[in-house]
Amino acid sequence: MDVTKDVAVKKNKKSLLKRMWLQKELILIALPFVIYIIVFNYAPLTGWLMAFQRYRPALGLFEQEWVGLENFRMLFSDSSFLRVIRNTISMSIINLTLSFFFSILFAVMLNELKNRRIKKIIQTVSYLPHFLSWIIVTGIVLDVLSTETGVINQLLMALNITEQPISFLSDPKYFWWIVGFSNVWKSTGWGSIIYLSAMAAINEELYEAAEMDGANRLRKIWHITLPGIKSTIFILLLINIGNIMNAGFEVQYLLGNGLVQEVSQTIDIYVLKYGISLGNYSLATAAGIFNSVISVVLITLANKFAKSAGEESLF
């Protein structure tokens, strides 16, 4: 029995080596990218050891004082860190919900547009904000929401909705929604590309059959278009759930101020402010590890849920 297993293992090894040799060109092409990932994504993970040390830059990584889970206990005993977790999760959920809704809605509207020339122009214009840096985007947001010259305040007063300008960026209740719609404006056009590609793969005969049965546009969208891109929606949702602890850094940092500090700080800003800027690298690393672990747990749970529901999954 053992001899049979050994023979089978040897055959599998020979078969694997043969396939690798036949695909040597593809392996050589992929090799630089594999090396890049190892060097820049996996090798730096040795820095996670700092989370379990009282790190001092003058000493080597393995010469530091080990403190176990002390840095993690400090994190969770800090009320500001718990508030930062709340801010991060809340803004991520708002960003995720708005981005998904508007990307799918925009893709459906473009798919229904029959004039190809107008469709291409709209697509091109809608993609452009994706390539702008957040510095430019936040500058536009500041101008639009300005109490003196902002378009939004001028429109609200012209329609007699408000009697005086609203200081949007000074009121905490508006901040999360400002961040959410800023993300929508920047990413909707780009996010719709994958949905449009999925819609292009839907069999046209389904639409023709539905039209013969008397279905209007809304019926065809609801019963053909949306079910046709369901697998794409699930895959993108799973990927984005893994990033739910990454609400962003630039937009919150650039739009934030002292008046909205309690709702504007995310984990990334906390790491910069209380970790790196104050030289407490161990605390910053502990916060980063917490962020990564929660992201992995969320995407694993979401993937298991998708599998149990019979939907598309990542692994």
Q: Which CATH superfamily is domain 73-308 in?
A: MetI-like (1.10.3720.10)
Q: How far apart are CA 175 and CA 276, in angstroms?
A: 25
pLDDT at 242: 80
* Alpha helix stretches (DSSP H) within the chain: 2-22, 24-37, 70-76, 79-112, 116-127, 134-144, 151-158, 172-200, 204-212, 217-220, 226-228, 230-241, 250-255, 261-264, 267-270, 281-308
* 3-class state of residue 158 by DSSP: helix
Name the most confidently modeled range: 5-19, 157-171, 295-309.
157-171
Q: How confident is the model at residue 13 (pLDDT cuts 50, 70, 90)?
A: confident
Q: How confident is the model at residue 10 (pLDDT cuts 50, 70, 90)?
A: low
- pLDDT tens digits, residue range 136-193? 999 999 999 998 888 999 999 998 888 889 999 999 999 999 999 999 999 999 989 9
Mean pLDDT on 2-10: 60
pLDDT at 298: 87
- pLDDT tens digits, residue range 238-271? 888 888 888 888 899 999 888 898 999 999 999 8
Provide the phi-psi class of 77: left if phi over 0, else alpha when psi is between -120 and 50, else beta.
Answer: alpha
Tokens of 239: 């990927």
pLDDT beyond 80 at 309: no
* 3-class state of residue 53 by DSSP: strand
Mean pLDDT on 267-286: 87
CB 177 within 8 A of CB 93: no
From 2-11, 32-41, 43-52, 133-142, the region with the lowest mean pLDDT = 2-11
CB 71 within 8 A of CB 52: yes
Mean pLDDT on 182-208: 90
Could you tell me the residue ranges of all domains in the chain? Answer: 15-66, 73-308
pTM across the whole model: 0.84
Could you give the angle at the alpha carbon of 249 between the alpha carbons of 34 and 269, nearest 5°?
Answer: 110
User: What is the CA 42 to chain-centroid distance, rounded?
Assistant: 21
> Residue 54 pairs with which residues in a beta bridge?
65
Q: How far is CA 234 from CA 54, 127, 159, 305, 310, in A?
A: 42, 23, 41, 11, 11
Question: Mean pLDDT, the chain, as a whole number?
Answer: 88
Tell me, what amino acid is at 211? E
pLDDT beyond 90 at 12: no
Tell me, what amino acid is at 128? L
Q: How confident is the model at residue 314 (pLDDT cuts 50, 70, 90)?
A: low
Q: Which residues lie closer than 8 Å to 150 by C-beta, 6 or more apart?
A: 143, 144, 165
